[in-house]
């Protein structure tokens, strides 16, 4: 992918997150980029192809961020906090209308994207669980695959469920509580001791105080 196409995808991603996909036409994209529609269609077959490539670029960027975290040689708890911070940044840009538009107007693409996201999240959560067990920071009695599937199920159902408003999801309050719930459920005594000893380092990320 050349730099020009990459630049277009990044710009369009911002438009989609701000306005949703349905309301942003190819004419809008060309106008915002100050290029002709002919030039736009030289790089993308149609709007569906553009949407597909935007979503692919976003996912690749997320995977690169995760890879960077994994290469920092952190322990499992530190790694989990870094993943949490990365997710927090993603949620702040979350626009429910974007997911709604993909699901309604591009159902086949929605299913593929959801499957890829699910596999990536499950793999990274499972790897973190395995690492934490080896380090003695997570409880060894846990069924890693079951816990990871449960964690993934909670995340997906919070987004798709009407129990939580878009405002609550965007505020990150719900994901914060889920993260804390998951963390305290999997830490061993050694993990809790490490967490409490280093709490000042994690305080800003959690943004809450313990009584």
Angle at 36 between CA 15 and CA 61, to 5 degrees: 35
**2: exposed, middle or buried (C-beta count within 10 Å: 0-12, 13-18, 19+)?**
exposed
CATH architecture of 72-206: Orthogonal Bundle (1.10)
**90: exposed, middle or buried (C-beta count within 10 Å: 0-12, 13-18, 19+)?**
middle
Cα torsion for 177, 179, 180, 182, to the nearest 10°? 120
Q: Output Rg (C-alpha) for the chain, integer angstroms.
A: 20
The percent of residues in the chain predicted with pLDDT above 90, rounded, is 65
Enter the tokens of residue 191. 């993990």
**In contact, 138 and 186? CB cutoff 8 Å:** yes
Reported residue count of the chain is 211
pLDDT digits (tens, 9 = 90+) for 116-152: 989 999 999 999 999 999 999 999 999 999 999 999 8
Q: Is the pTM of this model over 0.75?
A: yes
**In contact, 50 and 37? CB cutoff 8 Å:** no
Of the candidates 154, 112, 147, 111, the residue with the CA atom closest to the CA atom of residue 129: 147
Please report, in tens digits, the pLDDT of each residue of the chain (211 residues total). 688 899 999 999 999 999 999 999 999 999 999 999 999 999 999 999 999 999 999 999 999 999 999 999 999 999 999 998 888 777 777 777 888 899 999 999 999 999 998 999 999 999 999 999 999 999 999 999 999 999 988 877 766 666 666 666 656 677 788 888 999 999 999 999 999 999 888 877 776 444 3
**In contact, 111 and 118? CB cutoff 8 Å:** no
Cα(136)–Cα(125) distance, rounded to whole angstroms?
A: 16
List the chain domain ranges.
72-206
Cα(197)–Cα(136) distance, rounded to whole angstroms?
A: 16
């Amino acid at each position: 992918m050349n730099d020009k196409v990459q630049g277009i995808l990044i710009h369009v991603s911002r438009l989609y997150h701000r306005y949703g996909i349905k309301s942003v036409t190819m004419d809008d994209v060309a106008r915002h980029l100050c290029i002709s529609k002919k030039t736009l269609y030289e790089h993308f077959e149609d709007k569906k192809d553009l949407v597909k490539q935007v979503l692919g670029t976003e996912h690749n960027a997320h995977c690169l961020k995760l890879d960077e975290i994994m290469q920092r040689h952190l322990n499992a708890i530190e790694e989990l906090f870094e993943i949490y911070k990365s997710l927090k940044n993603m949620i702040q840009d979350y626009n429910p209308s974007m997911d709604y538009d993909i699901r309604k107007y591009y159902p086949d693409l929605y299913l593929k994207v959801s499957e890829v996201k699910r596999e990536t999240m499950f793999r990274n959560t499972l790897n973190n669980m395995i690492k934490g067990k080896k380090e003695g920071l997570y409880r060894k009695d846990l069924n890693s695959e079951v816990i990871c599937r449960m964690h993934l199920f909670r995340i997906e159902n919070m987004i798709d469920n009407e129990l939580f408003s878009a405002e609550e999801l965007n505020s990150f309050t719900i994901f914060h509580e889920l993260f804390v719930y998951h963390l305290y459920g999997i830490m061993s005594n050694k993990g809790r001791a490490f967490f409490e000893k280093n709490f000042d380092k994690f305080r800003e990320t959690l943004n809450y105080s313990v009584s």
